[in-house]
Chains A and B, each alone.
Chain A
Amino acid sequence: MTPMVELRGVHKSFGSLHVLRGVDLEVGQGQVLVIVGPSGSGKSTLLRTINHLEKVDRGSVRVDGHLLGYRQVGDRLLELPEREVLRQRTQIGFVFQAFNLFPHLTVQQNVMEAPLSAQRRPRGEVEPLAERLLARVGLADKAGAYPRTLSGGQQQRVVIARALALEPKLLLFDEPTSALDPELVGEVLDVIKDLARGGTTMIVVTHEIGFAREVADTVAFMDAGRIVELGPPAQILDAPAQDRTRTFLSKVL
């Protein structure tokens, strides 16, 4: 079976700052990968290359067997036209640390926007979908509310519903609970756990070690632009082989 996500030798620099230094990664269908690592190690940048919000300098990103953002001709990668890239992105849901809900649209309009305008699905089909998704994240009664009137935890659950509305093959979470008050973290993690149990493939960057232990099939520790080690949660979190991993875990636990 082709892996859902496959990165080969991915490099990325911002000017002279070499942020990703050769990342190889595979995530199987229905698997949950949790990435942990210190601030500035390149976790967000890595996630952003997976939906082509960030172009890679070298290496390749494949999602469900398809090259992302490029097509291969011989041994060269030619950039795809924007329309194609946008179509590829509709298969990948992205949940931001800072929510980034559209503040001038209601909760329901936020959820319906992408299926309507990116996938051109008929309104009659998208309305019940939005209703279902909002019920699933426990916000059926907030459809008409504006994001500003919701708590942080509720906003992040709307973001998840908005990402799910594209019915993506893959979900990417970039520190989904870091901007939340501690008592609101649980409600968002519960929604993510529920999705994981339902068999959605996902990559989650988080500092919630308990969550990683419970949900991850694989945990990757990232430092200075590389994946330092990777394995089942019990191995990485309880018996890491690398000193760097051990040092990091002793700080966050």
Chain B
Amino acid sequence: MMLPDLQAPPHQDAGRPLEVVTARRPLRWLAAVVVLVLLAMAASALVTNPAWEWDIVGQYLFAPSVVRSVLLTLELTALGIGLGFALGTVLALMRISPNRLLSSVAWGYVWLFRSVPLILQLLFWYNLALLYPRLSVGVPFGPGFFDFGTMDLIGPLTAAVLGLALHQAAYAAEIVRGGLLSVDHGQREAAAALGLPPARRLFRIILPQAMRTIVPNAGNEIIGLVKGTSVVYIMALPELFYQVQVIYNRNGRVMALLLVAAIWYLILTTVLSIVQHYVERYYGRGRA
């Protein structure tokens, strides 16, 4: 019987190695051309339609009131994420602790703050003075040592930061917990066997490795919050979104000002994405 597949290949010239020719993929080229045409159409629609009023956009993009509102947006994001992840890390540690009370409380927190919409939470904090006109610090059900008027303590900015941070903490807790669980158990064991103190085990051995899982998710959250801060417009805080609304209600240039806001959100997100890239690279060290 003939087995043609098993025949020895014909001999080649000894000195000439075989050349590799990549296969042609005509469909891929076609797809690329279609996408380019669509992009060009979108660009022309943006540039040529006078309704976008690009000159107005340019005029307002760096207006002092807009720049100030961008700074407030950044401040709200930074505080929301900073405080949120600080509290979230504590909650994550409580959640994985063998102490049942601590882990239940952490579970309950995450359940509650993930269930109630952010906008509702913000209104709650904003209107806290209606429920508790005075706040006091002291023994539960017993005498108080300090006493404040709620209105003086929780202005709109504080209410906004509080609302964003507490809301963010619930999500951060889950992200940090996932990160901690992703670290191999042998790492804890090796650190314990070497006699490293608990805080050192956490901050030097476990958390830096957990960061590999935490950072991409945290990046998502931060970028989400940059835009998410726009909900505080209900408290009349002049962050970016509220500010452009104020301006277009005055001058009627709705599209142009929405575009101003969109451009700023794009810039902030771009910068954050670049930062995230480098942070990820840092925590990925030692793993090719």
Does B10 sit at the interface, judged by CB under 8 A? no
1/0 contact string of A29-58 vs chain B (CB within 8 Å) = 000000000000000000000010100000
Choose among A102, A118, A146, A149 the residue that contacts B195 (Cβ–Cβ < 8 A): A118
Complex Cα distance, B209 from A104, in Å, reads 7
**Nearest Cβ distance between residue B77 and chain A, in whole angstroms?**
28
Complex Cα distance, B203 from A104, in Å, reads 12
**Nearest Cβ distance between residue B98 and chain A, in whole angstroms?**
13
Complex Cα distance, B195 from A88, in Å, reads 8
Residues in B whose Cβ lies below 8 Å from that of A88 = 195
Contacts A96-B189, A117-B200: A89 and B195 contacting too (C-beta < 8 A)? yes
Complex Cα distance, B286 from A106, in Å, reads 8
What number of B residues sit within 8 Å (CB to CB) of A?
23
Q: Are A98 and B186 in contact (CB under 8 A)?
A: yes
Q: Are A82 and B194 in contact (CB under 8 A)?
A: no
Does A100 sit at the interface, judged by CB under 8 A? yes
Complex Cα distance, B288 from A8, in Å, reads 47
Q: Which residue of A lies closest to B282 (CB)?
A: A104
Contacts A53-B189, A96-B189, A100-B186: A149 and B196 contacting too (C-beta < 8 A)? no
**Nearest Cβ distance between residue A120 and chain B, in whole angstroms?**
10
Residues in A whose Cβ lies below 8 Å from that of B285 = 104, 146
Residues in B whose Cβ lies below 8 Å from that of A114 = 194-196
Complex Cα distance, B186 from A149, in Å, reads 19
Contacts A104-B208, A148-B288, A149-B288: A86 and B196 contacting too (C-beta < 8 A)? yes
Contacts A89-B192, A98-B186, A146-B285: A103 and B198 contacting too (C-beta < 8 A)? no
Residues of B within 8 A of A (CB): 184, 186-187, 189-198, 200, 204-205, 208-209, 283, 285-288
Closest 5 CB pairs of A and B: A146-B286, A100-B190, A90-B195, A118-B195, A114-B194
Pull 28 A–B residue pairs with CB atoms less than 8 Å apart, ordered by A.
A51-B193, A53-B192, A53-B193, A83-B197, A86-B192, A87-B195, A89-B195, A92-B193, A94-B193, A96-B186, A96-B189, A98-B186, A100-B184, A100-B190, A102-B191, A102-B205, A103-B209, A103-B287, A106-B286, A114-B194, A117-B197, A117-B204, A118-B195, A118-B200, A146-B287, A147-B286, A148-B287, A163-B194
Residues of A within 8 A of B (CB): 51, 53, 82-83, 86-90, 92, 94, 96, 98, 100-106, 113-114, 117-119, 146-149, 162-163, 166
